[in-house]
Amino acid sequence: MTAKSGENIPLSIKISNYIPYLLLLPTLAYMLFFIGYPLVEGVALAFFDEQGHFTWANVNYLLYDPGSLFWDALKYTILLAAVIIPIQVSVAFGLALLFNAKFPGKNLALYTVILPLTISDVAAGLIWYVMLGQYGFFNKLLMDLGIISHPIIFFGIKNMEFLAIVMTEVWRATAIVFVIIFAGLQMISHEYYEAAEVFGATTWQRFRYIIFPLLLPSLQAALIIRTLFAFQIFGVVWTLAGRDIPVLAGEAYYAQTTLLRPGVAALYALIIAALSVSVGAIYIKFFKAKYLEAGM
């Protein structure tokens, strides 16, 4: 009599075949309950009425209602992201390269740079609201240095409020990008630098052919995370400018708490999600390292 297929396979090997799937269960459960379910509920709130009928009422409100600030909110959300993210990435990149070298007081300086990570967006907004006030520290410092003769008015003027938001966000959230890029920089083996020195590579060549290509995955991760946060910007804007500078997340909050229209708030949330996914896909496509594309 012949043995059936798989009859002689040890039980431990059979169980081990299912271990990868068991390990994925917590992640799958998290995605279903904290991403899938809210997404389905958001779609239901945005496109269905209380009777369960499909409706364009919330879309029509966003696009055509005189009280809607959707287009301004979309414009300022994208504009803030377009201004803030390049500044933060440039500053974070420079700081990461600086801290990659050894110098006295490096640890203290490092802790100082990442300190804003411990401060919430609302707290950061309040700090800078006081600093940038007419009689705040910023104006006092510039006047004491003789740079200006009269205080700079930041609040009540849209362009100046926009500048105040940019300054606050650069101070508050650059550390997020810095930590990711600096961690990626620390993972690059010094053997690459030593080999480059042996072959007489200049500083620029080492940066172009070693540092930057190997940092692309870290840069990609930093851009995706920072862009997600940029499209969700709310606390700093609401604290410094209120609805003078409307943003998508702020309008979602306003629709939910003041207008009592959860469908409109859900639609704003879906738009933020769509923007985040679209830009994230662009980052994944254009910032993939060449050695990963080669399957290495």
Specify if 48 maps to a domain: no
* Number of continuous H segments (helices) and E segments (strands) in the chain: 16, 0
Specify if 76 maps to a domain: no
- The CATH number linked to 127 is 1.10.3720.10
Specify if 241 maps to a domain: yes
What per-residue confidence (pLDDT) applies to 246? 95
Specify if 24 maps to a domain: no
Pull the structure tokens for residue 215.
Answer: 């940092």
CB 227 within 8 A of CB 287: no
Which residues does the chain have with pLDDT short of 70?
Answer: 1-14, 289-296
Specify if 179 maps to a domain: yes
What per-residue confidence (pLDDT) applies to 1? 45
Reduced to 3 states, what is the DSSP secondary structure of residue 32?
helix
Q: How many CB atoms lie within 10 A of CB 207?
A: 14
What per-residue confidence (pLDDT) applies to 11? 58
Specify if 8 maps to a domain: no
Specify if 81 maps to a domain: no
Specify if 118 maps to a domain: yes
Reduced to 3 states, what is the DSSP secondary structure of residue 92?
helix
Total of domains in the chain: 1
CB 192 within 8 A of CB 270: no
Helix (H) or strand (E) holding 105: none
CB 164 within 8 A of CB 153: no
Where in the sequence is the domain holding 150, given as residue range(s)?
91-290
**What tens digit of pLDDT does each residue of 184-212 get?**
998 888 888 888 888 888 888 888 888 88
